[in-house]
Structure 1
């Protein structure tokens, strides 16, 4: 498909108009095997050149090194060309282990923001998310502390990640919530029941992460791809043994429809997510130029209502084998 550099489809995120295709930067520092920061910086610069403006990170990706990487990139471009989103709340084991905890206390909010600003080398964050909700802290207290950061000019917009509709509504009463970030793809459709319509009702942008289901919807993964050292997918139920094979088999019709449209399965899957609502943004992640270009071009792939319906029914999400995360991690979802 021809590379499309113009922003054909625009959406609102907070008070800012942005291309609806952003870049998830997590995999540049961790979780998908080794990477090279020199190449990552080249990809980030190219993304900005192609028209990407929305860059998504978190203080827990690479233990802060992903924010530092973005900070190095931001120094090379005008600040207004980057809509910078980061997150706080997941606390990693200081010894470098796999243990995680969650802290949403007002004191932690303020300290985490200062650390992120320093690593990123900026004086404000465009969008600041609660990465996971802490059940021991009322969301009103957390968002109240975040609202103070807005008043201080350190944060422009507030967001929540992987929370329930009730939490979203409660938070929105304390301070306007600009964005809700949750996994959403052809293989993960839970948000359709309540989150998507509630976001639309409240005027909240819905930011879909893993819109390619961590590579499954590229239809090019094989079992060995996820078994390399440092690839977290080998511990995820959807990529385990027979589950992986069953999930790959679900995608044959996606490949057929993509061939008819003369686009890649990835582009078709991304265009489908965008078709589900004008308030939806996507942040697929990649470290490769080929996919960077393909993903951004998906924003210009218009689907007819008939095509959307065909794709929706062709991929039976109820038959997906395995949960999105291991059991322990799923307990922190939808609080």
Structure 2
């Protein structure tokens, strides 16, 4: 890739590498525990033609604020030494520290953004997200703090993650009422073959305001793996750690587990894994589109898995018969889910 080229897309979608597995090795999510391992991951991603990275002050789960410094050291070294990335900088998105009290107060917004810039060794971020909705901080205060940082040149785009459509509208209304220069410009949320809550009001709201949707957990947060793998110690659904509890609450429901088994059976019958099928569906058959500037955030526990994930999504769309079968499975799961009480 020459310096005149831009990161490639697949089916028009931006491909973004999630960095939650980088940082302090005592984190249950950590897979890349030092600068050298991080550099190898970034080089592997860059060699495939991609540059977009997604991180957060909270990464990795359980050991926050240890991912960004490691990334900063790796990125600084790569920009100086590695021919594979020289002249084509990585594009860095991050998220505010999301921790009580007053997660999105004026002071916390400023402290978090400045902390990210220092840790990542950058002068300006691409997207700065609110990592979630903080009910303890007034929306006007948060919006004004983000507007101030934007005017100071600290980030290019204001992002919001994990907020409802109604909350998103409140942010737009507030920015408009306060006459602020910057408004929410990018949304990041969960979206996969068996997690489609965003397809209604939330996506409609994003489209209304011209916001790209960047989808994380496109393979269902590991739901497509076998039961033994899903429930292994230290795994995505390990109930002994906070991250595992979050993913269990989000994905580990009877009707979704049943549907995931059917998706895995469908995939196996067609020579695929459930994981690969889910990734290909997200890129080629979901409601994400080039028209809206949407993107997919991929995770990877190893360089081998990174390359396998990229191979999967680069291999093209699924056959129509598989797509139709997936929709039948989803329709049945959705109906069962609506019959269950919300706990």
Paired residue for 2:248? 238
The alignment covers a number of residue pairs equal to 301
Match of residue 9, structure 2, among 7, 10, 31: 7
How much has 1:250 moved relative to structure 2? 2.9
Work out whether residues 72 and 121 of structure 2, in 8 Å CA contact, stay in contact via their aligned partners in 1. Answer: yes
Match of residue 327, structure 2, among 312, 317, 321: 312
Paired residue for 1:140? 140
Q: Does 1:302 align with 2:321?
A: no
Moved more, 286-295 or 115-124: 286-295
Q: Does 1:49 align with 2:47?
A: yes
Work out whether residues 19 and 54 of structure 2, in 8 Å CA contact, stay in contact via their aligned partners in 1. Answer: yes
Match of residue 209, structure 1, among 188, 211, 216: 216
Work out whether residues 55 and 85 of structure 1, in 8 Å CA contact, stay in contact via their aligned partners in 2. Answer: yes
Paired residue for 1:277? 288
The alpha-carbon distance between structure 1 residues 195 and 35, as it changes in their structure 2 partners (threshold 3 A), is same
Match of residue 19, structure 2, among 11, 16, 25: 25
How much has 1:318 moved relative to structure 2? 5.5
How much has 1:205 moved relative to structure 2? 1.0
Match of residue 266, structure 1, among 265, 272, 275: 275
How well do the aligned residues superpose, as a CA RMSD in angstroms?
A: 3.2
How much has 1:263 moved relative to structure 2? 4.2
SS in 1 for 2:218: coil
TM-score, normalised relative to structure 2: 0.76
Paired residue for 2:65? 64
Separation in 2, partners of 1:250, 1:158: 36
The alpha-carbon distance between structure 1 residues 72 and 235, as it changes in their structure 2 partners (threshold 3 A), is same
SS in 1 for 2:66: helix
In terms of Rg, which structure is larger? 2
Work out whether residues 9 and 299 of structure 1, in 8 Å CA contact, stay in contact via their aligned partners in 2. Answer: no
Work out whether residues 22 and 283 of structure 1, in 8 Å CA contact, stay in contact via their aligned partners in 2. Answer: yes
Q: Does 1:88 align with 2:96?
A: yes
How much has 1:36 moved relative to structure 2? 2.8
Work out whether residues 186 and 317 of structure 1, in 8 Å CA contact, stay in contact via their aligned partners in 2. Answer: no
SS in 2 for 1:253: helix
How much has 1:248 moved relative to structure 2? 4.5
1:133-168 CA deviation, whole Å, 9 max, x = no partner?
221333233122212222221101110011121222
Paired residue for 1:107? 107
Separation in 2, partners of 1:87, 1:245: 32
Separation in 1, partners of 2:202, 2:210: 12
How much has 1:24 moved relative to structure 2? 0.9
Paired residue for 1:178? 185
1:40-71 CA deviation, whole Å, 9 max, x = no partner?
33112211221232211111213211011211
Separation in 2, partners of 1:239, 1:225: 17
Q: Does 1:165 align with 2:175?
A: no
**Relative contact order, CA 8 A, sep 6+: which one is greater?**
1
TM-score, normalised relative to structure 1: 0.77
How much has 1:212 moved relative to structure 2? 2.2
1:48-107 CA deviation, whole Å, 9 max, x = no partner?
22123221111121321101121122211347531111111412xxxxxxxx54521122
Work out whether residues 220 and 278 of structure 2, in 8 Å CA contact, stay in contact via their aligned partners in 1. Answer: no
The alpha-carbon distance between structure 1 residues 272 and 197, as it changes in their structure 2 partners (threshold 3 A), is farther
Moved more, 132-141 or 228-237: 228-237
Paired residue for 1:74? 75
What 5-or-longer segments of structure 1 have no aligned partner? 12-19, 92-99, 328-335
SS in 2 for 1:160: strand
Match of residue 302, structure 2, among 272, 288, 292: 288
What 5-or-longer segments of structure 2 have no aligned partner? 1-6, 80-85, 176-181
